[in-house]
Amino acid sequence: MNVPEMFGSMVFNDNVMREMLPKKVYQSLQNTMIAGSALDEDVADIVASAMKEWAVSKGATHFTHWFQPMTGITAEKHDSFLTVDKSGCIIMDFSGKELTKGEPDASSFPSGGLRATFEARGYTAWDPTSYAFIKDDTLCIPTAFCSYTGQILDKKTPLLRSMDAISGEAVRALALFGKNVRRVNATIGAEQEYFLIDKEDYSKRLDLRLTGRTVIGAPAAKGQEMEDHYFGSIRPRVKAFMADLDEELWKLGITAKTEHNEVAPCQHEMAPIFDNANKATDANQLTMEMMKKVAERHGFACLLHEKPFEGINGSGKHNNWALSTDEGENLLDPGKTPKDNAQFLLFLTAVIKAVDDYQDLLRISVASAGNDHRLGANEAPPAIVSIFVGDELNSVIESIIEDKPFKGKSSSFRLDIGTSVLPKLARDNSDRNRTSPFAFTGNKFEFRMPGSSFNIACTNVMLNTAVADALKDFCDELEGAEDFNEALNVLLKRELSEHKRILFNGNGYSKEWEEEAERRGLSNYKRTPDALVHYCDEKNVRLFKRHKVYTEEEMDSRLEISLDEYQKAIHIEAVTMLEMLRRQILPAAIRFSSSLASSVQMKESIGVSANADKALCAKASTLCDGLLLKTDELEECVAGCPAETEKAAFYAADKIIPAMEEARRLCDELETITDKSYWPVPTYSEMLFYV
Ligand code: ADP
Ligand code: MG
């Protein structure tokens, strides 16, 4: 396999453009991509025609605008290139207009009240900063999605806006250090976790099919306690899947790099090489889609839910984040000279301030019914946002705050920002704190709270905008300073003192941390609605307006959509559970207990002891009685859900989830005593330890 040749073969990337477009057109497109200048129609026509020619040569027959509505998944509407020309002949055609703008009927996508149904029109607009690609014989054109009145209805547009915001402020900050750059990009490497189970098992479980997770199921005899799966040898079937997935991703220009087993049985991970936030987000959306598709081909179902199985680890998506100039300088790299160190400390401090000031937004960006099973459980970061910087950087920060000599591993000296050189910070693996939700890992931050099924756009919108805001304040202060180093020292000392409460290097899973965090005044929103209701807090609205990322109306709509999505997810889970209990579990358990009852009768009629049968029958029957009661209660509970969205979301968290849990406990207990041949759905041991 010639990987370099295959890589990006299905992408209309820079090489192809350079080859296929007239020089002037190529230049003009470059300007649009880098400076965001508008693309004129003639240019668009030429680009479209080249794109079509390229796509057709690769076997494509259709095109689609590929966008990311608020559902979190990508949407497409395919049109063929087919056109009838004036002489009645069939030709393959694609115009600049079709490339740059599409008009899908927007009425069936969530808008949170932004777009009244009678004004159904929405439009998609080409995002030339992410390459077009071919998938399933269809040319896919990455696009933004807006309502006709200009309000955004998707996840890509705010991300692009937030990238502009942080670029602008970071460019300003770099100018303070005498650097003249055109653009700073947020760079993202999203590590994707997932489960693979046998498709046959999957298809037998209504809960997996409808909700993505098992709403019932007793634990398997073996879980992850032997710690034998993480980085363990990979099953041949899974290996074949991974090889196939790599190939599909490489063709799409996605830099799949690392594939390994994760902690839980059947759990795996794929990490790509990082890219700018926009491309990395598109790539991650495509990766998730490809994982599902390739899994099918190998007789697997790929589960992207955050908690498909109770009692073993769930899946997250680590969002590695840094800032990089157009010349490739990583601004979170501490550097080697005093000047680079000072610049690093300024950016580091901006991140610390941003994460402290906007902890709530980061928590909100990862809030969902699925992720609530992860955050705060003893396997994933807690619901409290804090930053891990490691011992060495921590002593640097302390020496700045307290104006005292810096004590490093090998040296101790007075740190004078702008003149002293920082010690080389160790990038020691063992130093990494796995329990921290937001960890500095040498030259980037790793945000570990996002759930595996998430679109990472939202998290990065929050992060980019919050850091942009901190940088803006810093630049406003430093630009006017007479003595820059002096002003920088004052600023760092003040800001680090003010925000040091967000730094925590200890065990994030411990109970003590929860209490300590409360003393420090950090927020701890355990459930999605608890977090979401803070989205439109005044400070947050001010932030997004200030950087032109969201209008207040757009925020209101997003809040409405998120609350609604949450309560609907719980509702679907509850109804699915009811259906399984009533139509599968209870009938099966009753059949089982009545078989025992017959056995008792028969045995006693011939004077044989039936004590075991009797005892088991009694136990199963009692559990069935209890389960029926809990099922009725759950049904009543679901029926009582209020109509208003916020109330419904809290009702789901307060009432429906506990009712589901009560029913589940009885069901799972029943499972453990029921004859396997009666049990109507595959069990955890069957699903997790398939052969
Ligand atoms: P691990 O965390 O498993 O030790 P790495 O630290 O090498 O692995 O990288 C994890 C992810 O972070 C990868 O997707 C990688 O591409 C990404 N990454 C590395 N450097 C950066 C950066 N500067 N910006 C964003 N992501 C990065
Ligand atoms: Mg990692």
Residue nearest to atom 8 of ligand 1 (CA): 271
Same domain, 78 and 216: no
Q: Dihedrals φ, ψ of 344, to 5°?
A: -60, -45
Helix (H) or strand (E) holding 70: none
Say yes or no to pLDDT of 431 above 60.
no
Contact 336, 243 (CB under 8 A): no
Q: Whose CA is nearest to atom 4 of ligand 1?
A: 429
Expressed in angstroms and rounded, the spacing between residue 446 Cα and the centre of ligand 2 is 7
Q: Is 624 part of a structural domain of the chain?
A: yes
Cα 549 to averaged position of ligand 1 atoms, centre (Å):
27
Co-location of 305 and 217 in the same domain: yes
Q: How far is the CA of 320 from the centre of ligand 2 (A)?
A: 7
Q: pLDDT-derived band of residue 429, with 50, 70 and 90 as boundaries? A: very low
Residue 150 sits in the same domain as residue 203: no
CA distance linking residue 307 with residue 378, whole number of Å: 13
| Calpha distance 506→433 (Å, rounded) | 8
Q: Which atom of ligand 1 has the smallest separation from the CA of 332?
A: 23
Q: Would 276 be classed as within a structural domain?
A: yes
Each residue's pLDDT tens digit, 508-532 = 888 899 999 999 999 999 999 999 9
Give the residue-averaged pLDDT of 47-62.
Answer: 96
Residue 557 within a domain: no
Between CA 94 and CA 141 the distance in angstroms is: 12
Q: Which two tokens stand for residue 63?
A: 């095109």
Does residue 421 sit within a domain? Answer: no
Q: Which of 316, 339, 364 is the last residue of a domain?
A: 316
State the Cα–Cα distance between residues 235 and 197, nearest whole angstrom: 12
Which atom of ligand 1 is closest in space to residue 274's alpha carbon? 16
**325 found inside a domain:** no
Residue 277 lies in a domain: yes
Ligand sitting nearest the alpha carbon of 275: 1
Q: What is the CATH number of the domain that holds 303?
A: 3.30.590.10
CATH code of the domain in which 21 resides: 3.10.20.70
Look at 338 and 623; give whichever has higher pLDDT. 623
Q: Which residue in the block uniquely carries the two structure tokens 């945000």? A: 447
The domain that contains 678 carries what CATH number? 1.20.120.1560
In this structure, are 81 and 144 located in the same domain?
Answer: yes
Using the 8-state DSSP alphabet, how is residue 605 labeled? H
pLDDT in tens, 608-622: 999 999 999 999 999
Dihedral of the alpha carbons of 31, 34, 39, 45, in degrees to the nearest 10? 80
Interior/surface letters 79-111, b for 16+ CB within 10 angstroms, e for the rest: eebeeeeeeeeeeeebebebbbebebebeebbb
| pLDDT digits 0-9 by tens, 284-342 | 999 999 999 999 999 999 999 999 999 999 999 999 999 999 999 999 999 888 888 99
- What mean pLDDT is predicted for residues 569-586? 98
CA of 260 relative to ligand 2 center, distance in Å:
12
Domain boundary among 285, 316, 347: 316
In a domain, 613, yes or no: yes
Q: Which ligand is nearest to the CA of 434?
A: 2
- Ligand 1 centroid–CA 274 distance in Å is 6
Q: Same structural domain for residues 144 and 8?
A: yes
For residue 562, the SS3 value is helix
Distance 318 CA to ligand 2 centre (A): 6
Structure tokens at 533: 């209701």
- Report CA Rg, the chain: 28
Residue 447 half-sphere exposure, CB side, CA atoms within 13 Å? 29
- Which residue puts its alpha carbon closest to atom 22 of ligand 1? 322
Give the domain extent around 286: 192-316
Question: Which amino acid would we find at residue 217?
Answer: G
Q: Are residues 117 and 10 in the same domain?
A: yes
Q: Are residues 144 and 278 in the same domain?
A: no
Protein residues with CB under 6 Å of any ligand 1 atom? 187-189, 191, 271-274, 320-322, 330, 441, 443-444
pLDDT number for residue 36: 67
Instruction: List the one residue out of 493, 477, 458 whose CA is nearest residue 367.
Output: 458
What does the pLDDT look like over 627-661, one tens digit per residue?
Answer: 999 999 999 999 999 999 999 999 999 999 999 99
Among 288, 316, 344, give the residue marking a domain's end. 316
Ligand 2 centre to CA of 218 (Å) is 31
95, part of any domain:
yes
Distance CA 214, CA 216 (A): 5
Indicate if 568 and 620 belong to the same structural domain.
yes
Q: What's the CA-to-centroid distance between 462 and ligand 1, angstroms? A: 20
- Mean residue pLDDT across the chain: 92
Contact 256, 272 (CB under 8 A): yes
Q: What is the pLDDT of residue 422?
A: 74
CB 83 within 8 A of CB 571: no
CA 593–ligand 1 middle distance (angstroms) = 55
Residues 139 and 199 in one domain: no
How confident is the model at residue 226, as a pLDDT?
77
DSSP states along 358-393: THHHHHHHT--TTGGGTTTSTTS--SB--EE--HHH
Are residues 135 and 260 located together in one domain of the fold?
A: no
Are 12 and 134 contained in the same domain?
yes
Pocket test for ligand 1, best of 261, 269, 270, 274 (most atoms within 8 A of CB): 274
Residue of 257, 320, 388 best suited for mutating to test ligand 1, as the one with most atoms within 8 Å of CB: 320
Please report the DSSP string for 251-292 in residue order: HTT--EEEEEE-SSTTEEEEEEPPEEHHHHHHHHHHHHHHHH
User: Which ligand is closest in space to the CA of residue 283?
Assistant: 1
For residue range 111-159, list pLDDT tens digits in order: 887 765 455 678 888 998 999 999 999 999 999 998 877 888 899 999 9
Shared domain check, 91 and 30: yes
296: closest CA among 190, 408, 202? 202
- The structural domain count of the chain equals 3
Q: Model-level pTM?
A: 0.95
Question: Which residue puts its alpha carbon closest to atom 23 of ligand 1?
Answer: 322
Summarize the confidence of residues 535-551 as an average pLDDT.
Answer: 98
- For ligand 1, what atom is nearest to the CA of residue 272? 14
